[in-house]
Structure 1
Amino acid sequence: MGREVGCGALRAAVLLAMVVAAVAAAPAASAAPALRIEPLTWNVIGLDHNDVSQGPNVFLVGARVCNTGDAAATGVSTAFVWDSDNPLVTLRGTPTLALGDLAPGQCADAYYDVAVARNPAARGTARGYHIEATGNGLGTVSTPRPRELFVQPILSQNRNDATAVTGPTEVVVGQTYQYETVAATSPQGFPQLEVFLDFPNTIFRILDVDVTYGAPSGATNDRIYADACGWESDPTSSDYLSCVGPPNYAGGRVGGTVTTVYTVQIVGTGTATMMQTILDISGGSYHYNADFNTATPGVEQITVTAVAPPDLAVAKTHTGDFTVGVPADYTITVSNAGSGPTLGALTVSDPLPSGLVPVAAAGAGWTCDVAGQDITCTTPGPLAAGASSAITVTVRPEAAAVPGVTNTVTVATPGDLDPDNDRASDPTTVRQLLPGLTVEKRAEPPGGQPVAPGAELTYTIVVTSAGQATAHDVVLTDPFPAGTTALAVTLDGVEVGDGAAALAAGLPLGDLTPGTARTVTARVRLDPAAAGTLRNVATATATGVVPVTGTVSHPIAVVAGGAPQLTLAKTASVAAAAPGDTVTFTITVANLGAATARQVALTDPTPAGLDYVPASTSRDGSAVADVADGRNPLADGLALGDLAPGQVVVVQQSLRVASAAPGAAIINLATITTADVDQPASTAVTIPITASGAPPPGQLPATGARDHPREALVIALCLLAFGVAMIEISSWPALRP
């Protein structure tokens, strides 16, 4: 007996080990979707108790499908299935609805339209049904069975009142819209209440329902049916069609002012007039809103037309290559490839690439605006299905567009079905047909060197075709400056008769192919009375190619009878300075030469360690205004103008020692420039100053105290030079008596 128990225990242990090993070796369960479905609507439908031609006969019947799994459910769809026969109760619209994909935890609603024949025999009948759902790779789930739709006799009730229905009356397939209804019931509400617009599911798919009730205060719902009391809808139950609880709203009643917002997607075309229906039970009888029979648009009903979406397409074309400077046209063609007309404005946007200058844009029925490089054209439409409309955009190519650009245009309108054909690009070749002339000019003696009156001067001018195409009808113009007499002009070594007049009026050089050049020389003699700086400019132009272009050489300047000679001197008002002291600098600019110095400018930025004293700058005793932001007017350069031979300009300004450390050297540099090529770019002079706030070494103050060996001495040294003031600042320790 004990042996049998031991074997049994061993077998059990082995079996347990095998189970544990199998469990450990088994792969982890993978994520999977799972569907659940529940009914959304009341099982009571009906016909008018007295006159079947009155009152509602179409009712929404729906279910909610949720993905309770942990993976997406794809290709979810629902189907309405009849479980019994009743020719007086039928389905209007499509029996299957595609809900798409559902993420984990996501739900979607499916509503169907059930119609009751306006036949007295329909009252008191029923028809069994269920709604089922499935998805890719999933089984089928169903609403509870058995269930049926029971046709109750319903009474018109004045206390139920549909007060408003709002929303768009023209819609486009594929778009999403919202509709709002407002209804009123008795203030205390009803045990069962259903308020709805009978959206046909061939045109509308109800995506969301958001309901608020006046009673109980703050009550809400996410479906059209409010089961306030806990309704029994199982036809096999002895409590069928009665309240069994528990209540879903406080007091088991709901109603008052009922506001419902529907979010719908348009899934098909057509026109539908939808009625607002209020259905309730109270005191053992069923009721509907009496104003259903006298429906007013915007109150109890709304008519909506759904059209197929437009599908705008755009194309952009041009003819041939574009040429720099020559206006050219693009043609933008907007067409409606959809099966419905546009319902809103059409907008064409054409941002031109760099190198294309917008000139004009126009099209029949279009309003076009140009802002910078952006062209925008709009039209209110509509553009019928299959129709097209054109816009012409005129541009002027510039050199920046060579060798080519790509111009892209877009079109937009509300409800456009396919955005992929709303953009078009047009690659464009742009040719540079301008001559691209260059002019090089030199003088002998070289520009800037003095030439004595009566001496000869030779100019050499080289005109080169540097473009990509032949420069046609090239003309060189170079009038000689006053104070000279022309001696000879040659073109490529061949003398040109009356060359001076020819150059002044324009000397024809003919056509220049790319890379070729022509050389013009001109000998002139300075007149005996010539003086100052002589300047002249050579200009080349080409005609026959649009547009005419000109290339100007750098100005050549020679000095007749001498040259300007600028000098610069700078002094400081003190030989020593300490932090907080003010130093006045005097800058003297003089022209010691024999010619006028043109466009002289003085620059003297404030060095670190010194602060500019506002309104302290003067020229020849007259105040010089500070820069707008209060800066030193010499910091960026003070224009002194032209200085005649012998003219002297004196500029003064004050700077305050601010942050110089003891022993620091502060260098204040002044610079002058002139437009004359014979002057250096700048010249400078320096004044080094060693300074302190103490008396110079030697005898101490009247106290008779003598120098202490450890006390520092400050030696102030003022060395006058040109253009730079150097200030050395030291501290003077306290003197011992």
Structure 2
Amino acid sequence: MHKRLTRVLGTIFCVLGLGLALFGFDGAWRAYGQTAGPTPTPDFDLPITKAVSPSNALPGDTVTFSINVTNDQPQTQTNVVITDSVVNFLEVVGASSSKGTASFSGQEVRADVGTLASGESVSLTITTRVRAGTAPGTIGQNVAFVNTASGSSSSSNVVTVTIGGEGTPTPSPTPVPAGSRLVVEKSASPASGKVGDLITFKIVVRNTGGSTAPNVVVNDRILDFLEVVSVQTSKGSTATTGQDVKVTVGDLAAGESVTIAITTKIRAGTVSGQQGINIAEAVASDGSGGSSSTTSNPVAIAVDRNPPAGLPDTSAPNQASWIFWLGLGMAITGGLLLMVSRRRSVA
């Protein structure tokens, strides 16, 4: 009776195990065949250039930006999108694209180009007007971005607009005092990330002149899709109001420098592929109306584009592979039970 039970159990385990193993193997093979693997990171950037005319204007004047993108790759690019965040003292009044559709909302301009064949170019024209009340000497820097469905992301050259007017000398800041000279350097680490990731800006302000720069204040307006987490400075005090960060450094002696670290987090709900530039400013003032202002280099920040949906995740075991191994184990167990039953019969 015991030998018969062992034989029956062995047979059941073998048949059921082999069935599960075949089922699991077939599923795992199908999943493997449908998996494209990790989305490759493009190793190219589409050339994008930006120009402005005029670069010096008065309140009420029209300022036009011209953006050109060329597909220098052998393959056609799909879902090509050009974006530009225009500086606040310019009112966007129009946008047109040589291909696709262009639209704007507030300061944000977008051109949905669609496909761009190899060697094909597209031009985006943005018409703006200098807002009334913009102070002479106001300076704005701007870049444009282009993204494609393959994940390629490129930024244009930086263009600068100064309020002063053609033929009108731009008011020069009063030296504070003569001989002081502030230099502002800014960087971001990393320069891109996913929702929830931390991005840290490092700002270094140096006085490379021969005299003390008094009452130095560093201002930085963080991009709207970034949440300010913390601000640290090697000298002075910090204050944060929404997106505006202010660091009151105080006097900065000749040859002295101050380092500021602003830690931010990409906000929940931020659209994949969103981008922007960030610029810091250092101002020194003598308390009697004399001041000098120095801006940093622009820093571009991008939110990583999501990989194409619908591809299985090959980094984790799938259900089909577990069924295969379970079936194989049951089949081996059944085979062992049959061997034991046979030896007992022989004995």
Normalised by the length of structure 1, the TM-score is 0.19
**Structure showing the higher helix proportion among its residues:** 2
Q: Which has the larger radius of gyration?
A: 1
- TM-score of the pair, normalised by structure 2: 0.37
Higher relative contact order (CA 8 A, sep 6+): 2
Q: Which has the higher strand share?
A: 1
